[in-house]
Amino acid sequence: MSAADHIVLLRHGHSEWNLSDRFTGWTDIPLTGVGLAEAAAAGRRLAQAGYDFDEVHGSVLQRTRQTADALLAAMGTPAVPLFTDWRLNERHYGALQGLNKREIFSTWGEAAARRWWRGYTEPPPPLDWDDPRHPRFDSLYANLVPAELPASESLRDCQQRMMPYWKAVLVPRIEAGRRILVISHGNTLRGLVMHLDGLSAEAMEQVEIPSGVPLVYRFGPDLSVQGHVWLDSPDATPTPAA
């Protein structure tokens, strides 16, 4: 398998708040035993398909680090370096963070809530500046300018925050021949898939990123997308993108 002609994307495994159907966003929630098993299974699938990595990139949230550790251990390559950056964080859900769908529907109504979490342009209500859930109070972001931290994000906001990392960090590494695994979050990866596949905002609303299933994108010499495949079985092989 040649280097620099592909990248592998992975959504982290099942987390604790998935159990109670809560919107997690930037809340630093750990994986469940199910999530750790999903990560290990993804590592075994990647190894069986012949993939190796020079480096892993993930968010600063522990659920991506736990996914990386379990996946690399299952591959037998625990020493592969992990680089973390807040720009690969999940979309910030603002005032919805920590609430479940029933609580959100009763406060804001189902129609508005569904626009916020499935739409592309409309963010949820933001956190107040003094809300203890605001990321300016989190030590993970102590080195960032508080005014630059989001209090809420639409999918477009999340994508615009993530794309400079893709262009300035990941693309040069792929061009240099580095074999890259990106472990991130559902909405962050949706934004990247939207860019790679050239999808409209309307088409993007229908895209789901399952947890723990590797998504492989293959590139031509000019980094144009040649195809993608979900490695949801040991014998899956890349096929042209639809």
- CA separation for the pair 25, 78 (Å, rounded): 27
Contact 106, 49 (CB under 8 A): no
Among candidates 238, 165, 233, 166, which has minimal Cα distance to 5?
238
Task: Assess whether 12 carries a catalytic annotation.
Answer: yes
AA identity, residue 5: D
Task: Assess whether 90 carries a catalytic annotation.
Answer: yes
- CA separation for the pair 52, 200 (Å, rounded): 32
Residue 194 lies in a domain: yes
Which range marks the domain in which residue 53 is found? 6-90+153-230
Whichever domain contains 174, its CATH number is 3.40.50.1240
Which residue in 6, 57, 90, 134 is the catalytic one? Answer: 90
Residue 188 lies in a domain: yes
Residue 20 lies in a domain: yes
Residue 226 lies in a domain: yes
Which residue in 12, 92, 134, 228 is the catalytic one? Answer: 12
Contact 181, 53 (CB under 8 A): yes
Residue 70 lies in a domain: yes
Residue 157 lies in a domain: yes
Residue 216 lies in a domain: yes
pTM recorded for the entire structure: 0.93
Residue 238 has a pLDDT of: 42
Q: How far is CA 62 from CA 75, 216, 217, in A?
A: 20, 23, 25
Number of structural domains found in the chain: 1
Residue 25 lies in a domain: yes
pLDDT in tens, the chain (242 residues): 444 699 999 999 898 887 777 899 999 999 999 999 999 999 999 999 999 999 999 999 999 999 999 999 999 999 999 999 999 999 999 999 999 989 999 999 999 998 998 889 999 999 999 999 999 999 999 999 999 999 999 999 999 999 999 999 999 999 999 999 999 999 999 999 999 999 999 998 888 999 999 999 999 988 999 999 999 855 454 433 33
